[in-house]
Amino acid sequence: MKILWIDLNCSYAHSSLALPALHAQMASDTSVEWDIVSATINENVGMIVDEIYRRRPDILAATAWLFNHEQLMHITSRVKALLPDACLILGGPEFLGDNEEFLRKNPFVDCVFRGEGEEAFPQWLACRKQPEKWNTIPGLCYLTAEKEYKDNGLARVLNFSGLVPPEESRFFNWSKPFVQLETTRGCFNTCAFCVSGGEKPVRTLSIESIRHRLQIIHSHGIKNVRVLDRTFNYNPRRAKELLRLFLEFSPDICFHLEIHPALLSEELKKELRQLPAGLLHLEAGIQSLREPVLEKSRRIGKLSDALEGLKFLCSLSNMETHADLIAGLPLYRLDEIFEDIYTLAGYRAGEIQLESLKLLPGTEMRHRADELGIRYSPLPPYEVLQTGEISVGELQTARRLSRLLDAFYNTPAWQELTRELILNDRRFLYRFLAYLTEANLIDQPMSLERRGLVLYEYCKQYYPDYRTQASIAWIEAGMSLKKLPAEHVKTKRQIPPEHWEVIYGNYKPELRLCFLPVSTDTEHGYWFGFESEIQKIAPVFKART
């Protein structure tokens, strides 16, 4: 029996855990031959189909999620036309809701799994040629020969800690920039927009088990680990143990964590303060800074506690904290989104991620969409189109605002200047967004240099007091001193003054100096020193007079 897994991702930087997680449980079964075809959603469908067809599998399997769903249907429908006797089974987040309509619209799909497949998939394989027994397989949804829909509920692995780790599968991909480490399944929280909302019971791995898996990961030279644990700091004692475990792998590995800012105990804050720089990269789930919005979304945790916790996390110099907002949540208005970005910029959040709400299959919010007054796309990625509080046009404004944040605030070279502009003028975001939109720039891909040029030109025209800061940002980003943002920079035969205040670096006579005056009085300004002997385009020395 030959199983071929269609590994379809958004890019080659990403890799799903589904195949190694399933294969690891069955690796010793010699009666099953496993094969894989990997591709991205941007590749030619015909080429992918040809590759699969030449393998002649008995079973086709794949995971469907928001951003690969459409392309996966194009691929699998063609493969089934070529290999009608092959059995096609799909799983993943796309099937957490009602699957009857999907199966009737896509008759080439033999069945789908809802939930966790490590235990149920081997059971299905044992009776795959006996459809009369499929009703015993947890999580399996299918149509009988008489076209009657059968739904076996939700498959849940209760003995999570007893599973063979996916890292032990030969299909675990060690070539990516990061790997995912699932330390917990389930979530204590009840967020109505999340597929894990209210997923009980919460199941965890022991600290020793996690240590063993991290040792395997470390032995492969992996530098970044994304910890899949939506309940990381729900249990302060366990969170403290995990942080101390991660410390054992410092400085070789950086850990990306989701953390709930409302649930930070004083003891955990103390632990976080003491960690070395670069060990953690935090994603702080905040979603909205509005109490009614969070209550309607059924998110546990007081807003006041969340804001206090987020302010603390953003104040830590030894780690970067990203905060996320979700446009389209019930009761969330566009002006409130702008105001919340202003607040987060004031906290000095490392990134501000603004996403549009997507009503995912199986979520409470999708089930209650009509009741909540939400209209959303019936096709992936199921984005919200309108609510009672935000219009179609306003959601497009929010989308463009997200693009602005990614291009300027979330880009280290331009972040400090963008943050100051946001904080010193509450209308800046509105005005800059209108400027980028009218210039047809907001939806255009822009290089780092192009963004710097745009920001400088905008400051020069509308915020002249910030022109010098825009030039400094340009220089420190290593951009060309021959272009407009460096128009006032003096580069030829610059002799250091008798006295200057060093901001960073050490001056050496062999440094190539340039001077940026801050006014027509050329005695006052900023000095930058560049290494001439090495290929380092950013300055290594900065001083002011």
- SS3 labels along 252-298: CCEEEEEECHHHCCHHHHHHHHHCCCCCEEEEEEEECCCHHHHHHCC
Tokens at 101, concatenated: 């309509």
pLDDT of residue 454: 98
Q: Are the C-beta atoms of 202 and 229 separated by less than 8 Å?
A: no
Q: Angle at Cα 132 formed by Cα 131 and Cα 133, nearest 5°?
A: 85
Do 249 and 339 lie in a common domain?
yes
Tokens at 309, concatenated: 């916790």
Distance, in Å, from the CA atom of 25 to the CA atom of 387, rounded to the nearest integer, reads 44
Do 344 and 369 lie in a common domain?
yes
Q: Would 433 be classed as within a structural domain?
A: yes
pLDDT of residue 6: 97
Question: How confident is the model over 462-490, as pLDDT tens digits?
Answer: 999 999 999 999 999 999 999 999 999 99
Confidence label for 198 from pLDDT (cuts 50, 70 and 90):
low
pLDDT of residue 399: 98
Do 255 and 323 lie in a common domain?
yes
Domain CATH number, residue 125:
3.40.50.280
Question: How confident is the model over 357-375, as pLDDT tens digits?
Answer: 999 999 999 999 999 999 9
Question: How confident is the model over 7-54, as pLDDT tens digits?
Answer: 999 877 677 899 999 999 999 988 999 999 999 999 999 999 999 999
Do 320 and 233 lie in a common domain?
yes
Q: Total domain count for the chain?
A: 4
Find the range with the poorest average confidence among 14-28, 386-400, 411-425.
Answer: 14-28
Domain CATH number, residue 233:
3.80.30.20
Indicate the SS3 state at residue 460. Answer: helix
Indicate the SS3 state at residue 305. Answer: helix
Q: Would 68 be classed as within a structural domain?
A: yes
Find the range with the poorest average confidence among 24-33, 161-170, 420-429, 529-538.
Answer: 529-538
Do 105 and 232 lie in a common domain?
no
Nearest to 8 by CA among 67, 59, 50: 67
Residue-number span of the structural domain to which 203 is assigned: 177-404
Indicate the SS3 state at residue 502. Answer: strand
Do 433 and 461 lie in a common domain?
yes
Do 187 and 309 lie in a common domain?
yes
Confidence label for 199 from pLDDT (cuts 50, 70 and 90):
low
Question: Looking at residues 270-289, what average pLDDT do you find?
Answer: 94
Q: Angle at Cα 156 formed by Cα 154 and Cα 160, nearest 5°?
A: 170
Is residue 386's pLDDT more than 70? yes
**189 alpha carbon, distance to own chain's centre:** 19
Predicted model pTM: 0.92
Number of Cβ within a 10 Å radius of residue 514: 18
Strand order in the sheet with 87-91: 33-40, 2-9, 59-63, 87-91, 111-113, 140-143, 149-151
Q: Would 167 be classed as within a structural domain?
A: no
Do 246 and 369 lie in a common domain?
yes
pLDDT of residue 189: 79
pLDDT of residue 49: 98
- Going by C-beta distance under 8 Å and a sequence separation of 6 or more, which residues neighbour residue 434? none
Indicate the SS3 state at residue 13. Answer: coil
* Last residue in a domain, options 362, 379, 404: 404
Nearest to 37 by CA among 54, 18, 24: 54
The amino acid that residue 294 corresponds to is: L
Mean confidence (pLDDT) of the chain: 94
- Going by C-beta distance under 8 Å and a sequence separation of 6 or more, which residues neighbour residue 99? 112, 114, 141, 151
Question: How confident is the model over 444-464, as pLDDT tens digits?
Answer: 999 999 999 999 999 999 999
Confidence label for 196 from pLDDT (cuts 50, 70 and 90):
confident
Do 335 and 425 lie in a common domain?
no
Do 511 and 462 lie in a common domain?
no
Is residue 231's pLDDT more than 80? no
Is residue 289's pLDDT more than 80? yes
Question: How confident is the model over 66-122, as pLDDT tens digits?
Answer: 999 999 999 999 999 999 999 999 999 999 999 999 999 999 999 999 999 999 999
pLDDT of residue 10: 85
Tokens at 168, concatenated: 């032990």
The amino acid that residue 121 corresponds to is: F
Tokens at 103, concatenated: 């199966």
Do 247 and 382 lie in a common domain?
yes
pLDDT of residue 535: 59
Question: At 192, phi and psi to the nearest 5?
Answer: -70, -15
Q: Would 187 be classed as within a structural domain?
A: yes
Indicate the SS3 state at residue 527. Answer: strand
Q: Would 50 be classed as within a structural domain?
A: yes
Confidence label for 532 from pLDDT (cuts 50, 70 and 90):
confident
Do 191 and 310 lie in a common domain?
yes
pLDDT of residue 188: 79
* Last residue in a domain, options 470, 485, 500: 485
Distance, in Å, from the CA atom of 540 to the CA atom of 478, rounded to the nearest integer, reads 10
Indicate the SS3 state at residue 378. Answer: coil
Indicate the SS3 state at residue 184. Answer: strand
Confidence label for 411 from pLDDT (cuts 50, 70 and 90):
very high
3-state secondary structure 74-141: HHHHHHHHHCCCCEEEEECHHHCCCCHHHHHHCCCCCEEECECCCCHHHHHHHCCCCHHHHHHCCCEE
Tokens at 322, concatenated: 């990203």
Q: Would 447 be classed as within a structural domain?
A: yes
Confidence label for 280 from pLDDT (cuts 50, 70 and 90):
very high
Q: Would 423 be classed as within a structural domain?
A: yes
Bond into 381 cis (ω within 30): yes
Q: Would 171 be classed as within a structural domain?
A: no
* Last residue in a domain, options 369, 404, 439: 404
- Going by C-beta distance under 8 Å and a sequence separation of 6 or more, which residues neighbour residue 211? 245, 248
Summary count for the chain: helices (H), strands (E): 18, 21
